[in-house]
Amino acid sequence: MLGSARRATPTTGGPADVALEMEAALRDAAKAAEMEPATLAGVGVGSPGTIDADAGTVSSARNLPGWEGAFPLAATLERALGCEVRVGNDVQVATDAEFKLGAGRLYRSLLGVFWGTGVGSGLILDGRAWTGLGAAGEIGHMVVKMNGARCTCGRRGCMEAYAGRASMERHVRKLQEEGHETQLFKLMEEHGRTRLTSGIWARAIEHKDKVAIEVLDRAIRALGAGIASASNLLDVEGVIIGGGLGVRLGHPYAQRIADEMLPHLFADWRPPHVHVAALGDLGGAIGAALLLRAEA
Ligand SMILES: [Zn+2]
């Protein structure tokens, strides 16, 4: 890695505003590497939502502001940067990176589970990425409880409704209103955050916060059931646990997820190998860069 930069995702506006911030971040990173964007072989983008890789468009990026319909992200950035741009799903490209360079490089089949604000996944089957019609890997919306908790997608009982950080935060607020004491929000304020970030969760666990432990246990049970169900269908060799929470909580929690999978696994005599993402936070960016050489 020659240069890097970070910018906050806009919370208002629309796709064009998000594209402008991406362009600025790319220019910052190129500057750090003392390069001009136009001299790059190309730019790879990992984006949430449903991707049409050939058209370079992104649709249904629900966590981004005002993202209705298909937006031509690749063409927009190509015009701005003066080099080729390829777009892939953020979670799929992170899985590709783990498959080619990270914790999954010994396997031919892989499920990458990214545990953060939501829970997404990427798939490698028989050595190739599987994206379905463009929306494969939505493991967060596998049902772990019929008529269960309300999910951010509007449906009920999804794994993400128990294990996504956004849902976990909502559940903590409800428990607090019911009179359960927790230090989670105090820790959040002390560290100048406006959300219960992965770091705040990790600290609350260190403080042995009862509510944090309980909500995290519930999340891990849901992850165990959901990932085991996916594994029953696909029978992959390896499972990679990444994402903000997955990487922050690390190996002990990946092991706990593996333990929670066991009672639900059909082939429980040879469970898939479960690893933490080896490329950590950078997996998405590395995997997106690899899109430029996908046909090489
Ligand atoms: Zn859902």
pTM score of the predicted model: 0.91
Centroid of ligand 1 to alpha carbon of 3 (angstroms):
36
Centroid of ligand 1 to alpha carbon of 138 (angstroms):
9
In this structure, of 2-11, 122-131, 155-164, 182-191, the range with the lowest mean pLDDT score is 2-11
Identity of residue 92: Q
Residue in 272, 185, 257 with CA at minimum distance from that of residue 217? 257
Centroid of ligand 1 to alpha carbon of 146 (angstroms):
12
Centroid of ligand 1 to alpha carbon of 118 (angstroms):
9
In angstroms, the CA 185 to CA 202 distance is: 13
Centroid of ligand 1 to alpha carbon of 231 (angstroms):
19
Centroid of ligand 1 to alpha carbon of 33 (angstroms):
40
Centroid of ligand 1 to alpha carbon of 151 (angstroms):
5
Burial 164-203 (b: 16+ CB within 10 A, else e): bbbbbbbbbeebeeeeeebbbbebbeeeeeeebbbebbbb
Looking at residue 180, its pLDDT comes to 97
Centroid of ligand 1 to alpha carbon of 150 (angstroms):
8
Looking at residue 294, its pLDDT comes to 62
Centroid of ligand 1 to alpha carbon of 141 (angstroms):
4
Centroid of ligand 1 to alpha carbon of 153 (angstroms):
4
Is the confidence at residue 296, as pLDDT, over 90?
no
Q: To 5 degrees, how large is the angle CA 249–CA 109–CA 106? A: 75
Centroid of ligand 1 to alpha carbon of 162 (angstroms):
10
Centroid of ligand 1 to alpha carbon of 78 (angstroms):
33
pLDDT digits (tens, 9 = 90+) for 244-264: 999 999 999 999 999 999 999
The predicted model gives 234-238 an average pLDDT of 98
Looking at residue 213, its pLDDT comes to 97
Higher pLDDT, 49 or 119: 119
Quote the mean pLDDT of the chain: 94
Centroid of ligand 1 to alpha carbon of 232 (angstroms):
20
Centroid of ligand 1 to alpha carbon of 116 (angstroms):
14
Are 5 and 32 in contact, with CB atoms under 8 Å apart?
A: yes
Is the confidence at residue 197, as pLDDT, over 50?
yes
Centroid of ligand 1 to alpha carbon of 285 (angstroms):
26
Q: pLDDT tier at 24 (50, 70, 90 boundaries)?
A: very high
Looking at residue 7, its pLDDT comes to 92
Two tokens at 203? 């600290």
Centroid of ligand 1 to alpha carbon of 264 (angstroms):
20
Phi, psi dihedrals of residue 119, rounded to the nearest 5°: -125, 115
pLDDT digits (tens, 9 = 90+) for 157-181: 999 999 999 999 999 999 999 999 9
CB-neighbour burial class of residue 58 (10 A; exposed 0-12, middle 13-18, buried 19+): buried
Two tokens at 88? 């892939």
Centroid of ligand 1 to alpha carbon of 1 (angstroms):
35
Centroid of ligand 1 to alpha carbon of 52 (angstroms):
22
For the chain, helix (H) and strand (E) counts, in that order, are 10, 9
Is the confidence at residue 238, as pLDDT, over 60?
yes
Centroid of ligand 1 to alpha carbon of 261 (angstroms):
20
pLDDT digits (tens, 9 = 90+) for 111-128: 999 999 999 999 999 999
Centroid of ligand 1 to alpha carbon of 37 (angstroms):
38
Looking at residue 295, its pLDDT comes to 56
pLDDT digits (tens, 9 = 90+) for 62-116: 777 888 889 999 999 999 999 999 999 999 999 999 999 999 999 999 999 999 9
Higher pLDDT, 294 or 231: 231
